[in-house]
C-alpha cells in the first residue's frame, strides 16, 4: 500500500530491537580487540542506538517478501549498522584528535575519518565478531519476517 512505508509496524519494532541487541553484543565483542588503553565511553550505547535505527529504517522496511529475502535484508541491515558504526566511531576519534591539534586544517581532519575507519576495520577482522554480525543479522531478518506475517 502507498504510504505504509513510513508507518510503524510490528516488524519494524522487532527489527529495531533485534539489531539493537546485535549492535550491543557486537560492541562487547569489539572491546577485547582494541588496545587496552582505549576509552570506550558511550560506545555500546551509540552502537545500540545505531542498531535500532538501522533495524527500523533499513531492515524493517525490507521484510515481508519471504524468508529468503528477509535473511538477505538482515545482512543488509547489519551492513548498514557496521558502516554507520564505523563512521561515527571514526568521526568521534577524529574529533578527539582534532581537539589535541593533530591536524593542520579541516580537510586533513575529514580525510582522517576514512583512514581511522580503515585502521579500525583491520582491527575488527575477527571470526567471533563477524559470526555475531552475520548470524545475528540473519536471525533478526527471520524474526522480522515472522512478525510481518504474524501481525499484518
The yes-or-no verdict on residue 1 having pLDDT over 60 is: no
**Domain residue spans of the chain:** 10-27+42-150
Closest CA to 23 of 54, 69, 60, 58: 54
Calculate mean pLDDT across residues 95-121.
91
Calculate mean pLDDT across residues 99-110.
89
Q: Which pLDDT score, from 0 to 100, does residue 111 have?
A: 92
Q: What is the pLDDT of residues 62-75, one digit of tens each?
A: 998 899 999 999 99
Amino acid at each position: 500500500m502507498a504510504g505504509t512505508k513510513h508507518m510503524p509496524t510490528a516488524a519494524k519494532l522487532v527489527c529495531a530491537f533485534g539489531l539493537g541487541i546485535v549492535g550491543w553484543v557486537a560492541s562487547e565483542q569489539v572491546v577485547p580487540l582494541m588496545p587496552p588503553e582505549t576509552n570506550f565511553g558511550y560506545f555500546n550505547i551509540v552502537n545500540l542506538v545505531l542498531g535500532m535505527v538501522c533495524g527500523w529504517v533499513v531492515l524493517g522496511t525490507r521484510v515481508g517478501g519471504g524468508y529468503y529475502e528477509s535473511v538477505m535484508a538482515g545482512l543488509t541491515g547489519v551492513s548498514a549498522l557496521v558502516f554507520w558504526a564505523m563512521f561515527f566511531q571514526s568521526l568521534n576519534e577524529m574529533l578527539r584528535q582534532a581537539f589535541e591539534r593533530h591536524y593542520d586544517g579541516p580537510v586533513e581532519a575529514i580525510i582522517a575519518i576514512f583512514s581511522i575507519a580503515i585502521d579500525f576495520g583491520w582491527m575488527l577482522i575477527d571470526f567471533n565478531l563477524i559470526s555475531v554480525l552475520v548470524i545475528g543479522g540473519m536471525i533478526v531478518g527471520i524474526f522480522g519476517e515472522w512478525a510481518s506475517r504474524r501481525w499484518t
